[in-house]
A and B are shown apart, each in its own frame.
Chain A
Amino acid sequence: MGSGTSTRHHSAFQNAERTFKAAALIQRWYRRYVARLEMRRRCTWSIFQSIEYAGQQDQVKLHDFFSYLMDHFIPSSHNQREFLTHMFTEDRFAQDSEMEKCSDYESIEVPDSYTGPRLSFPLLPDHATALIEAFRLKQQLHARYVLNLLYETKKHLVQLPNINRVSTCYSEEITVCGKSRSEVAFPIFIYILNGLPSPERSYVFNGDFVDRGKDSVEILMILFAFMLVYPKEFHLNRGNHEDHMVNLRYGFTKEVMNKYKIHGKEILRTLQDVFCWLPLATLIDEKVLILHGGVSDITDLELLDKIERNKIVSTMRCKTRRKKEKQMEEKGKANRKSSAQEPIPWFLPQSRSLPSSPLRLSSYKAHKTNRSSSIPCGGCLDGRELSRQVRSSVELELERCRQQAGLLVTGQKEEASRSASEADSEAGELQKPTQEEWRQVVDILWSDPMAQEGCKANTIRGGGCYFGPDVTQQLLQKYNLRFLIRSHECKPEGYEFCHNRKVLTIFSASNYYEVGSNRGAYVKLGPALTPHIVQYQANKVTNTLTMRQRISRVEESALRALREKLFAHSSDLLSEFKKHDADKVGLITLSDWAAAVESALHLGLPWRMLRSQLVNSSADNMLEYKSWLKNLAKEQLSHENIQSSLLETLYRNRSNLETIFRIIDSDHSGFISLDEFRQTWKLLSSHMNIDITDDCICDLARSIDFNKDGHIDINEFLEAFRLVEKSCLEGDTSECPQATNAKDSGCNSPGAC
């Protein structure tokens, strides 16, 4: 029957249409969900990066300040000189003779009860693998063997050129790893995935072996051991973390002192030496250049080949030859009339002209919009206003110090002492590096590639530069190279090509910010020099998590860090909020909230996107900002009895504080005297333009000195404010690493450990 059939057809058609529509609806909804996840992922990444770079900037500002002090403050008494010299334990030149004495490791007794590995030299492959096994079992290498190993390592490194030449003739394949994870599981993992080093399998580790993990010492031991066993096949490049100044902040120094209470100092001193003997770059087949950071438009490989690389003890501060400094000073004075007065940091790259106006050390995002090629000038936070304030408060402080010291400040006095120290240094064994040499090395270790053409100062990191594709091209052409491999930046996929595939960033530490934050990768090169990438993500847990769960975890971690930062800027935030609340109602719009937060924090983050995660108490699009701040504080504080504004200030500067403490605590005992604490705080607060009275500080210091013996236990102090880095307390995140993703089907799948 006609109508029956057509009804059936009709309803069938309707059904089909309904199904189609339903499916389309679900897909539409799902795609939006995925898009929002993606956005969250990106925002999370931005948070981590901007906080990390802000931390690096802090480091720079701090050392900038100390440099200035060292160069301009003339201590009258020996004590004062001592105090300030301790700020920079760089005087290794004097220690060189001490160093040879340190091959006194032989005098260190190893007790019979020691069950860890015992090394004998020359090292054999079995020793190296035994070392790995021992560390896997969480044994600790005895200080004697550590020092022995370091001593042998130094002997080896000294023979190497600045730019290490490697050929694929000898070993068929070369694997390049960038930025290790400071956990013992890391090299084990790499070797399982890729195979142990051998005459057929070369390795290049591209710097940054230490910091931000708990096993940096063990990582170094493993790397050095393999280097000694396979000197022709195992290569290390220096990274910006192979630097005792950076180590002070990022945890390596602490780790060494915790593990080696008696000999830690010696180990650190020896390491300082070893680090500056690490080669600066590796060149494969004269075609592929591997270095840690990048290049700049003035990178001169011939010059780099010739310099005495061990003169560059730390890239954070440069003691250059005085003569040049005087010249720069002269020129600088002439220019200063036009610019806001600023301590001129030597280590920031200067284009052909001298510093003119201070560049804002602004946010992560801002670097992208700041097209000007004007020269950055370290210490200013927010334009001329603040820089003038800083300058004047530092001057005031110096004035006070000088007056206390009974000094008369005249230009002549400065000249006199300067030429005196010049004579001193010339009498010393080693010449200091020139400005040029130092800059070349900083560029290699700190620079990052950028998409735009040109070369400009790397204001985010505070050292090195951003180099464009034209700079890369120029360099490759000049030296007839094929491409560059570098590390230095964390990439979500573990690697990234840029500059027309002429620059490869390789980042081997997966889960760098947090479990699930990123993949790691290494690259293999055969005689054809075609890069072959292997990716992985080393954590059992991430395998079982869905994308959504992974993103949530990482996001939570990022938000926690961000909330800490917000709390640390509570007073700034309050004043910014008040600006938007003219009627003093206590309410501001959510839009104003976003603007205010950016003004206070300068992180360049998408605050409107993040708002729903940070603000959960708004009605009608309006926010009661005072209670919001109070809630923030509640989350962060554990001791309500301490004056909150002081606490907040300390909290904000805690990394700086900790770094300074460790510098002052030159015997690494973990204790500083009340007086040292007060002096430190005075200096820091005048530089950072912090308004805390002397009395407050004295009270604080006294209240922390629990046993009233005139000493402050650094760790206790920091712990009291929950300021100790979580890294000490973090458990094992990568017990049993497994690769989730290997692009090379030829790779054996790793078994579970």
Chain B
Amino acid sequence: MIHKDKERIIVAEFHKKIKEAFEVFDHESNNTVDVREIGTIIRSLGCCPTEGELHDLIAEVEEEEPTGYIRFEKFLPVMTEILLERRYRPIPEDVLLRAFEVLDSAKRGFLTKDELIKYMTEEGEPFSQEEMEEMLSAAIDPESNSIHYKDYITMMVIDEN
């Protein structure tokens, strides 16, 4: 059946991709990675889960008695499934823009630094201080002390590609 063959090829390719990403973090070359790096691996494979979804995923791939490490054998099937089902798709630019606009209720086209900090550290799945600082360093225009989100998004998207 042609369809089955095609799927097998796709799965094989996924397996190679997943293995590559996994190995980047497999410091001891024993097919395990620190559980704290799983988020990075999953996200770099093109997925965009929430923190909550990530926690659920980790629970799925962890050992019965959590060791702090995730084994490749457990990770591979779960991750393959995710890729096949195209779960946790990335966020399109326009959706992201609308999210900023929701926060910018006055429709000024920007958010002040304090507002950004407030929203990012008090709402949703709050940022850590480190995450907040890092975002501020690139996002905030030092002269106006604000983030012009439309330009910011454009800049980030270009950088990605």
Chain A residues within 8 Å of B, Cβ to Cβ: 18-36, 38-39, 42-43, 46, 365, 368-369, 451-452, 546-548, 552, 591, 594, 606-609
Query: Is the CB of B63 closer than 8 A to any CB of chain A?
Result: no
**Closest 8 interchain pairs by CB?**
A368-B29, A24-B124, A23-B124, A35-B43, A23-B123, A39-B44, A22-B102, A22-B99
A25 with B27: CB separation less than 8 A: no
Known: A43-B24, A607-B20. 5 other contacts (CB 8 A): A23-B123, A25-B96, A26-B103, A39-B41, A365-B29
A452 touches B119 (CB 8 A): no
Query: Are the CB atoms of A24 and B43 closer together than 8 Å?
Result: no
Closest to B92 in A: A29
Residues of B within 8 A of A (CB): 13, 16-17, 20-21, 23-25, 27-30, 39-44, 47-51, 90-91, 95-96, 98-100, 102-103, 119-120, 123-127, 131, 134-135, 137-138, 156, 159-160
Q: B39 — which chain A residues lie within 8 A by C-beta?
A: 31, 35
A19 touches B20 (CB 8 A): no
Nearest to B126 among chain A residues (CB) is A27
- The answer to whether B137 and A547 touch across the interface, beta carbons within 8 angstroms, is yes
A and B contact pairs by CB, cutoff 8 A, 29 listed: A19-B123, A21-B124, A22-B99, A22-B102, A23-B99, A23-B124, A24-B50, A25-B96, A25-B99, A26-B99, A27-B120, A28-B48, A30-B127, A30-B135, A32-B47, A35-B41, A35-B43, A39-B40, A39-B44, A43-B24, A365-B29, A368-B29, A451-B28, A451-B30, A548-B159, A552-B159, A606-B23, A607-B20, A609-B44
A31–B23 touching, CB < 8 Å: no
Given contacts A28-B91, A34-B131, A36-B43, contact A18 B102 (CB under 8 A): yes
- Taking the closest CB of chain A, its distance from the CB of B100, in whole angstroms, is 7
Nearest Cβ distance between residue A44 and chain B, in whole angstroms?
11
The reply to whether B91 and A608 form a contact with Cβ atoms under 8 Å apart is no
Q: Is the CB of A369 within 8 A of B29?
A: yes
The distance from the CB of B31 to the nearest CB of chain A, in whole angstroms, is 10
What CA separation (Å) do A282 and B134 show in the bound complex?
A: 41
- Select which of A21, A26, A46, A591 is within 8 A of B24 by beta carbon: A46
Q: Which of B21, B27, B50, B123 touches A28 (beta carbons < 8 Å)?
A: B50
Q: Pick the contact of B124 from A26, A38, A369, A546 — CB < 8 Å? A: A26
- Determine whether the beta carbon of B127 is less than 8 Å from that of A27: yes
Inside 8 A of A591's CB, which chain B residues have their CB? 13, 16
Shortest B37–chain A CB gap in Å is 9
Cα–Cα distance between A32 and B13 once the two chains are bound (Å): 22
Residue among B16, B24, B119, B138 with most chain A CB within 10 A: B24
Tell me the nearest residue of chain A to B153, going by C-beta: A29
For the A-B complex, the count of residue pairs with Cβ-Cβ distances under 8 Å equals 127
- Point out the residues of chain B lying under 8 angstroms from A546, CB to CB: 134, 137-138
Q: Is there contact, CB below 8 Å, between A31 and B103?
A: no
Flag if B125 contacts A24 (CB, 8 Å): yes
CA A717 to CA B119, docked complex, whole Å: 62
> What is the distance, in angstroms, from A562's C-beta to the closest C-beta of chain B?
15
Min CB distance, B49 to chain A, in Å? 7
What's the least CB distance linking A42 to chain B, in Å?
A: 5
Closest to B137 in A: A546
Give the distance in Å from the alpha carbon of A627 to the alpha carbon of B60 in the complex.
Answer: 45
Most buried by B among A32, A606, A608: A32
Q: Which residues of B have CB within 8 Å of A451? A: 27-30
Q: Which of A31, A552, A608 has the most CB of B within 10 A?
A: A31
Residues of A within 8 A of B49 (CB): 28
Asked if A33 and B156 make an inter-chain contact with CB atoms under 8 angstroms apart, the answer reads: yes
Q: Nearest residue in B to A43 (C-beta to C-beta)?
A: B24
The answer to whether A30 touches B20, judged by C-beta atoms less than 8 angstroms apart, is: no
Interface of A is mostly: helix
| Chain A hits for B17, CB < 8 A | 608
The dominant DSSP class at the B interface is helix
| Known contacts A27-B125, A28-B125, A609-B44: A39-B24 contact under CB 8 Å | yes
Q: What are the residues of chain B within 8 A of A23 when measuring CB–CB?
A: 99, 103, 119-120, 123-124
Q: What residue of chain A has the Cβ atom nearest to residue B50's Cβ?
A: A28
Contacts of A21 in B (CB 8 A): 99, 102, 124
Q: Collect the chain A residues with CB atoms within 8 Å of residue B119's CB.
A: 19, 22-23, 26
Residue of A nearest to B104 (CB): A22
Specify which chain A residues have a CB less than 8 angstroms from the CB of B123 in the assembled complex. Answer: 19-20, 22-24
Shortest Cβ distance from residue A379 to the other chain B in the assembled complex, whole angstroms: 25
Query: How far in angstroms is the closest Cβ of chain A from B126?
Result: 8
Which interface residue of A22, A28, A43, A451 has the most chain B CB atoms within 10 A?
A: A28
**Cross-interface CB contact of B20 among A33, A368, A552, A608, cutoff 8 Å:** A608
CB distance from B97 to the nearest CB of A (A): 10
A-chain residues with CB within 8 Å of residue B40 when the two chains form the complex:
35, 38-39
Question: A26 and B43: CB pair below 8 A?
Answer: no
Chain B residue with minimal CB distance to A370?
Answer: B29
- Chain B residues near A25 (CB, 8 Å)? 91, 95-96, 99, 124
Given A22-B99, A30-B135, A39-B44, A609-B24 contact (CB < 8 Å): yes
Q: Which residues of A contact B103 (CB under 8 A)?
A: 19, 22-23, 26
Give the complex CA separation of A24 and B95 in angstroms: 12
CA separation between A591 and B11, bound complex, in Å? 12
Which residues in A have their C-beta under 8 angstroms from that of B44? 35-36, 38-39, 609
For residue A36, which residues in chain B have a CB less than 8 angstroms away from its CB? Answer: 43-44, 160
Query: B43 contacts A22, CB within 8 Å?
Result: no
Give the distance to chain A from B23, nearest Cβ to Cβ, in Å.
7
Cα distance A21–B50 in the bound complex, in angstroms: 11
Q: Write the chain A residue with the least CB distance to B95.
A: A25
CB distance from B81 to the nearest CB of A (A): 19
Find chain A residues with CB under 8 A from B42 CB.
35
Q: How far is the CB of A370 from chain B (nearest CB, A)?
A: 9
Q: Report the Cα distance A22→B105, complex, angstroms.
A: 12
Q: Judge whether B43 and A606 touch: CB under 8 Å.
A: no
Do B21 and A609 touch (CB < 8 A)? yes
Q: CA of A27 to CA of B119 in the docked complex: distance in angstroms?
A: 10
B91 touches A19 (CB 8 A): no
Which residue of the partner chain, among B98, B100, B134, contacts A547 with CB atoms under 8 Å?
B134
| CA distance in complex: A358, B138 (Å) | 52
- Residues of B with C-beta under 8 A to A452: 28-30
| Neighbouring A residues of B27 by C-beta, 8 Å | 451
Q: Roughly how many angstroms separate A46 CA and B20 CA in the complex, as a whole number?
A: 12
Contact between chains at B137 and A29 (CB < 8 Å): no
Tell me how far the C-beta of A595 lies from the nearest C-beta in chain B, rounded to whole angstroms. Answer: 8
* Cα distance A32–B160 in the bound complex, in angstroms: 11
A42 touches B16 (CB 8 A): no
B49's nearest neighbour on chain A, judged by CB, is A28
Q: How far is the CA of A27 from the CA of B103 in the complex (A)?
A: 13
Considering only CB atoms, which chain A residue lies closest to B118 in the complex?
A23
| A125: min CB distance to chain B, Å | 43
Complex interface: chain A residues within 8 A of B100 (CB): 22, 26
Chain B residue with Cβ nearest A46: B24
Q: Are A29 and B23 also in contact (CB < 8 A) when A19-B103, A19-B123 are? A: no
Distance between A278 CB and nearest chain B CB, rounded to angstroms: 33
Residues of A contacting B127 with CB < 8 Å?
A: 27, 30
Does A29 lie within 8 Å of B125, measured CB to CB?
Answer: no
Q: Are A27 and B20 in contact (CB under 8 A)?
A: no
Would A31 and B96 count as touching, CB distance under 8 A? no
A20–B123 alpha-carbon span in the complex (Å): 5
Contact in complex: B120, A26 (CB < 8 Å):
yes
Question: Do residues A42 and B124 form an inter-chain contact, with CB atoms below 8 A?
Answer: no
